[in-house]
Copies of this chain bind each other. A is one copy, B any other.
């Protein structure tokens, strides 16, 4: 079989298992999730042994320490993954709920929530995503086709085997969970073209993975995680709050998508604010526009590339603007529609910013770092959508469902 045929065989096995899963009661799916969470802890030795092979192979390839850290599992990390899976079991059932209405001709229409079907998850060398994504799919009645990075393949295969055994232990089919064993680039491209087999593909990872999926996929995709986020400091602002929000948005975890990448400052407050902000984040490399350079001497000059870049690092582009309108225009030109913040005391500025900035999440006097399923109160998230269709912003279990209309009649015709 070629790689497409191997993938299709997996899809067909999943689709056969789907009927029972999609029709199963929420209590059964929750039992499956808990069994999966418990099995990971019970099988730590097996997982850690497989993970150790991945780590050794990766070190042999001289990979960066940050990448090895993402790949590494420990006993504590497995406990953490298991605990977060149990939280998913405790979330409300996303299926079945709906509305019902009657039509004048006597038809009763019921709009209910149903699973999407088979969801593909394509991700990098983070073995925690294997368990996390599988559980969110099962909880929402979907089968899953996992496709992780090549350097985590031993960890992913071990975790998947444990999850498959666990789901079978509650009477659902192990075939609900599939994993692509071939981790070549060609195989990933085949997966992106499984029209008619995979109902939705969600990429979880860095900009290059997401770009590759958007460019190559012919199946439906939800774009996630690209975050060129801005903090705008308005002229009428509490300076302490402005510094605290700026530093938090940039430095609390620079590698994530909701961290800020560009700081915009109103010209009337730039003289006071910029030196305070620069002092408060000494580790951060600032790259400024000409007006910024006139205030903060000795920093690098920002180029067009800096306005576009999602650094995911301790680097911050800085621009002084003449007005809130200029700030909003800059944001709407360069942002990835993820998260944007204004710090202001002025109601009109706050309202203007909220109405005119095009993004999933728009903050007034708070850090962009709150764009997150847990922080929004949704529980576990499957990713943060930067598109406008189907789901926008942090995606909870609802994003993994679609609707179905069930219509009962007694002989109605038109």
Interface residues of A, Cβ cutoff 8 Å to B: 19, 23, 101, 103, 107, 109, 116-117, 199-200, 220, 222, 238, 241, 244-245, 248-249, 252, 350, 354-356, 358-367, 369-371, 375-377, 387-390, 392-393, 402-414
> Complex Cα distance A105/B363, Å?
14
Given known contacts A369-B414, A389-B220, A409 and B376 CB-to-CB distance under 8 angstroms: no
Given A376-B405, A404-B360, residue A389 in contact with residue B388 (CB < 8 A): no
Most buried by B among A362, A390, A404: A404
A376 touches B109 (CB 8 A): yes
CB-nearest residue of chain B to A376: B109
Contact (A117, B364) CB under 8 Å given A369-B414, A370-B107:
no
CA distance A363 to B411 in the complex (A): 10
A259 to chain B, nearest CB (A): 10
Report how many copies the assembly holds: 2
Q: Is the CB of B356 within 8 A of A19?
A: yes
Q: If A365-B409, A409-B365 touch, does A389 touch B414 (CB 8 Å cutoff)? A: no
Docked-complex contact B389 and A402, CB < 8 angstroms: yes
Chain B residue contacts of A376, Cβ below 8 A = 103, 109, 405
Is the pair A407, B103 in contact by a Cβ cutoff of 8 Å?
A: no
Report B-chain residues with C-beta under 8 Å of the C-beta of A249: 413
**22 A-B pairs, CB-CB below 8 angstroms?**
A23-B355, A23-B356, A103-B375, A103-B376, A116-B389, A220-B387, A238-B411, A245-B411, A249-B413, A252-B413, A252-B414, A362-B404, A364-B408, A364-B409, A365-B410, A366-B410, A367-B412, A369-B413, A388-B402, A389-B389, A389-B390, A392-B402
Contact B403 A393 (CB under 8 A): yes
Q: Could you tell me if A404 and B390 are in contact, using CB atoms closer than 8 angstroms?
A: no
Residue of B nearest to A240 (CB): B411
Q: Hey, which chain B residues are within 8 Å of A404, CB to CB? A: 359-362, 392
Alpha-carbon distance A395/B398, docked complex (angstroms): 19
Contact A362 B413, CB 8 Å, known A23-B355, A355-B23, A356-B19: no
Give complex CA distance A390, B401 in Å.
10
Min CB distance A343 to B, Å, is: 8
